[in-house]
Amino acid sequence: MSKQKKAERPATVSDFELAMESIAATKLAQSWDNVGLLVGDRSAIVRRILFSIDLTQAVVEEATRANADALFCYHPPIFRPIHTLVSPGTGMESLVLQCARNGIALYSSHTALDAAEGGTNDLIAELCGMQETIPLEYVDDPGKDNVKVVVFVPGEHADRVANAAFAAGAGVIGDYTHCSYRGKGTGTFFATEGTNPAIGKRGRVERVDELRVELVAPRSRLPAVVAAIRNTHPYEEPAFDLYPLVPPPARGIGRVGFLPRKTTLATLARKLSGRIRATNSSIVGRRSCKVHRAIIIVGAAGSLPLRCGLGAGDVIVTGEIRHHDALAIARSGACAIALGHWTSEHPILSTLVRRLRSELPGVALKLARSDCEPFARF
């Protein structure tokens, strides 16, 4: 849909959903996560959207006062199964019910936005000055569940068999169709009693010049492709192999890369804390430690960074670190900076609003003022 056409009619919840999908596709989320449109009527008109990290009572009240039609909550308000929707109450279900009752749609991206290009982790990596990074852990792409089909067929029948497989859905790579690889070889077989070989005779070993034909097929089309091969192959029992394929890695959680120059742990911690206005930052390691490789994972680091082969010169930049994980980091000789869970994630909201303005012209996009760091100094 063109921007001109979007501007001709009011935006809807569906438009908001599609815009978010283009920025942080839900397929990038971790398998345990719950992302996307969680509450809302896709056909409802959207004139105002509020953005927050968490859904709290204060945020719901602010959205209601502002007549917001949708709320983007980075952390999914519905994460575990909700058994009841009652209000008043102290649980998340009460807040979800209030939003639904007031016609406020709820959308969350969480780990999808963490993995997406230009998402939460890329933003912190950029603030560190890192220019080239790779994901810490790649996300499987369920949309590319392909299988390689390899069939062995006499050369004069190869085109017929391959064309039948193409017609059944095989041989598509990107924007190209009828893709295959063919290599020459020799096939052998011994036809026992009761067989009816198309080539050769029963009771002796035959050698046949064959082509190895390789094609890629979506798993969903596999039954049709196999049936097409069987129906067009000259042999009574055609020989073919099926190989599951792993898609090439594209996006993933966290980022790993090198800082533009070596610096001390204290210098990097001060720089990041200042840029994102972190008030409760803490470090693991000596302030004077020199660091040059950074492992970025916003929110809660968990044990994921510990798989990176940590050593001297490494620094983990995250939101929060568990006690025993901090000890493990220290034992490895690496360092860490914990900026605060909420604080490490909040900067992405301003970036998200800027990116959505071109996608949702005419919609008022604002950060929730009541959304705040739950920890405070005293």
Predicted local confidence at residue 137, as pLDDT: 85
Q: Is the dihedral of CA 115, 119, 122, 128 positive or negative?
A: negative
Predicted local confidence at residue 377, as pLDDT: 78
pLDDT digits 0-9 by tens, 114-162: 999 999 999 999 999 998 899 988 876 655 678 999 999 999 999 999 9
Predicted local confidence at residue 20, as pLDDT: 97
Q: What is the DSSP letter of 202?
A: B
User: Can you read off the two tokens belonging to residue 253?
Assistant: 């959680």
**2.40.50.140, 3.30.70.1290, 3.30.465.10, 3.40.1390.30: which CATH number matches 120-139+251-339?**
3.40.1390.30
Residue 286 backbone phi and psi in degrees, to 5: -75, 140
d(CA 28, CA 40): 22
State the CATH class of domain 146-244: alpha beta
**CB-CB contact of 180 with 162 (8 Å):** yes
Residue closest to 98 by CA, chosen among 108, 107, 109, 85: 85
Low-confidence residues of the chain: pLDDT under 70: 1-7, 140-144, 248-250
Domain pair 3-110+347-367 / 146-244, same fold: no
pLDDT digits 0-9 by tens, 191-241: 888 788 777 788 888 888 999 999 999 988 999 999 999 999 999 889 899
Q: Is the dihedral of CA 56, 62, 67, 72 positive or negative?
A: negative
Q: Where are the alpha helices (DSSP H) in the chain?
A: 3-8, 13-23, 57-65, 92-101, 110-115, 120-127, 158-167, 222-232, 265-276, 323-332, 341-345, 347-357
Q: What is the DSSP letter of 173?
A: B
Predicted local confidence at residue 49, as pLDDT: 98
d(CA 300, CA 105): 27
Predicted local confidence at residue 142, as pLDDT: 55
Domain positions in the chain are 3-110+347-367, 120-139+251-339, 146-244
Predicted local confidence at residue 293, as pLDDT: 96
User: pTM above 0.85?
Assistant: no
**CB-CB contact of 109 with 35 (8 Å):** yes
Give CA angle at 229 (246, 164), nearest 5°.
Answer: 95
d(CA 338, CA 372): 17
What is the full DSSP assignment across 236-278?
SS-EEEEEE-PPPP--EEEEEEEEEEEEEHHHHHHHHHHHHT-
Q: Which residues of 312-329 are buried (b: 16+ CB within 10 A; e: fewer)?
A: ebbbbbbbbbeeebbebb
Classify domain 3-110+347-367 at the CATH superfamily level.
NIF3 (NGG1p interacting factor 3)-like (3.40.1390.30)
